Amino acid sequence: MNKLTKKQIGQLKPSATLAINEESNKLKKSGKKVYKFGFGQSPFPIPESVVLELKNNSSKNFYLQMQGLEELRSVIANHLNKNNNNNFNKENIIVGPGTKELMFLTQIAFEGDILLPAPSWVSYQPQAIIAKNKVHWIQTTSNSNWFPTAEKLEEKIKSIKNKNLLLLINSPNNPSGTVCKNLEEIVDVAKKYKLIILSDEIYSRLTFNDQYKSISSIYPERTIVSSGLSKWCGAGGWRLGFFAIPDQLAELKNSLKILCSESFTSVSAPVQYAAVRAYKDDHSDYLMKVKKILSFVANYVYENLKSNAINVLQPEGGFYLFPEFTSAKFSSSSEMCKDILNKTGVALLPGSDFGLPSNKMIARLSYTDFDGANFLKGILGSKKLDDADLKKYAPNIVDGVSALKEWSNSL
């Protein structure tokens, strides 16, 4: 579907992640125990100093500069330069109400076709369709960590007439939880065909091994870095994200600025002031604890699921795992997920929602169904985590994984 009438917009399905959340809520209301492994939201509270800053600035009632508060743009540029080895200044930064909105406006501004690795986050394709951009899927496999190989990328580019192309790379990845290991070879192809890369780095600060490498550090000239407060800072509902756009893409940046000014005007003033704290202060202690918990939970799920009946890669960051059920026989992954939800109460999202063929029995599992504030308090000054901690602070994870394993063994 590439030419969309206004009537057809009303016929698009609402975002798949939100739909599974509603379905789970319905089941829950009817008295059934539901394991909310379908929806990926940070379970952790926002760092206290950032919340305090929001409170202190709550009386700021004016519209801010359309591109974003100057001080915020400066601290974001500094943050990227330090962590990603970039060379941005405040003029390269655009602040928006979440990166989702900025991505959507980019789709509207961009004149060309879109390259999407499959699997990809659920909203990239619908946004492209609404913006009337043609989407070209690049199928990937677990052998390349669910990222496109240079070979597959180039093969796809050669088959496309339009050579004005934007490639989305999301590492750590939603839905697979894996990190892209072949950035260099992707960049070789990107340079050859002058691709624009939109590097969705929303989970970058939740990389478990602390060695995140941004593709922007090796392809600075045509990479847009996309990130924000939603995941690492537990502030999805605050709606603050940013793009860092290099000088070489000034034309696209200019169009985007115009679209921003004609749509959301500027992001909520108190939230922008609070975000200065989020990017200026050192939150390494908070992040260390958050990652300690996330990686422990992730590995528990991985170790308990991987078996003859389930193929899954070890998660490397973010909130997700992408298990494939080798003996499941359903007409589609969506049928499989319905069966899992009804028989076990475990809510998962089918692989088909992420661009994989519907006959591949794979699903996204989000391991964030626990009270992060309680877990953080519980491990204050603590030793290594163990399974007893998990039973205490993340019982839904333990029980949901056990139910899912039982289901897969019964096939």
With beta carbons less than 8 A apart as the criterion, state whether 242 and 272 touch.
Answer: no
Decide whether 112 or 236 has the Cβ nearer to ligand PLP: 236
With beta carbons less than 8 A apart as the criterion, state whether 76 and 279 touch.
Answer: yes
Decide whether 100 or 360 has the Cβ nearer to ligand PLP: 100
Alpha helix locations (H) across 57-122? Answer: 70-84, 99-109
Q: Does 99 participate in binding ligand PLP (rule CB under 6 A)?
A: yes
Q: What angle do CA 193, 171, 288 make, to 5 degrees?
A: 150
Select the residue whose beta carbon is closest to ligand PLP and give its number: 98
Q: How far is the CB of 408 from ligand PLP (least distance, A)?
A: 25
Q: State the Cα–Cα distance between residues 306 and 23, nearest whole angstrom.
A: 27
Decide whether 174 or 396 has the Cβ nearer to ligand PLP: 174
Give me the residue label for tokens 């929303």: 202
Q: Does 44 participate in binding ligand PLP (rule CB under 6 A)?
A: no
- Of 241, 323, 372, 400, the one binding ligand PLP by CB under 6 A: 241
Decide whether 294 or 309 has the Cβ nearer to ligand PLP: 294
Q: How far is the CB of 120 from ligand PLP (least distance, A)?
A: 8
- Of 125, 140, 176, 230, the one binding ligand PLP by CB under 6 A: 230
How would you list the strands of the sheet with 320-321, edge to edge?
320-321, 363-366, 349-350
With beta carbons less than 8 A apart as the criterion, state whether 335 and 196 touch.
Answer: no
Q: How far is the CB of 20 from ligand PLP (least distance, A)?
A: 13
With beta carbons less than 8 A apart as the criterion, state whether 188 and 219 touch.
Answer: no
Q: Does 271 participate in binding ligand PLP (rule CB under 6 A)?
A: no
Q: How far is the CB of 138 from ligand PLP (least distance, A)?
A: 17
Q: How far is the CB of 59 from ligand PLP (least distance, A)?
A: 25
Scanning 97-105, 259-267, 306-314, 393-401 for contacts with ligand PLP by CB under 6 A, the matching segment is 97-105
- Of 236, 257, 311, 358, the one binding ligand PLP by CB under 6 A: 236
Task: Please give the distance of CA 110 from its chain centroid, rounded to a whole number.
Answer: 21
DSSP 367: -
Q: State the Cα–Cα distance between residues 372 and 397, nearest whole angstrom.
A: 12
Decide whether 206 or 390 has the Cβ nearer to ligand PLP: 206
Decide whether 241 or 317 has the Cβ nearer to ligand PLP: 241
Q: State the Cα–Cα distance between residues 92 and 71, nearest whole angstrom.
A: 13
With beta carbons less than 8 A apart as the criterion, state whether 242 and 96 touch.
Answer: yes
Q: How far is the CB of 224 from ligand PLP (least distance, A)?
A: 13
Strands (E) in 80-222, as ranges, are 93-96, 113-118, 135-139, 165-170, 196-200
Q: Does 40 participate in binding ligand PLP (rule CB under 6 A)?
A: yes
Scanning 31-39, 84-92, 96-104, 383-391 for contacts with ligand PLP by CB under 6 A, the matching segment is 96-104
On the question of a cis peptide bond just before residue 119, with omega within 30 degrees of 0, the verdict is yes
Give the tokens for residue 317: 């960051």
3-state helix, strand, coil in the chain (%, to 5): 45, 15, 40
Strand, helix or coil for residue 385: coil
Of 410, 187, 388, 385, nearest to 310 (Cα)? Answer: 410
Q: How far is the CB of 307 from ligand PLP (least distance, A)?
A: 27
Size of the site for ligand PLP (CB under 6 A): 13
Q: Which of residues 152-211 bind ligand PLP (CB under 6 A)?
A: 170, 174, 200, 202
Decide whether 126 or 385 has the Cβ nearer to ligand PLP: 126
Give the tokens for residue 130: 């609404």
Q: State the Cα–Cα distance between residues 13 and 130, nearest whole angstrom.
A: 12
Scanning 58-66, 95-103, 273-281, 295-303 for contacts with ligand PLP by CB under 6 A, the matching segment is 95-103
Q: Does 100 participate in binding ligand PLP (rule CB under 6 A)?
A: yes
Q: How far is the CB of 128 from ligand PLP (least distance, A)?
A: 14
Strand, helix or coil for residue 95: strand
Q: Does 355 participate in binding ligand PLP (rule CB under 6 A)?
A: no
Measured in residues, the chain has a length of 411
Scanning 77-85, 94-102, 108-116, 360-368 for contacts with ligand PLP by CB under 6 A, the matching segment is 94-102
- Of 117, 228, 246, 400, the one binding ligand PLP by CB under 6 A: 228
> Which uninterrupted H or E stretch holds 199?
strand 196-200
Q: Does 98 participate in binding ligand PLP (rule CB under 6 A)?
A: yes
* Binding positions for ligand PLP, rule: CB under 6 A: 40, 98-100, 121, 170, 174, 200, 202, 228, 230, 236, 241
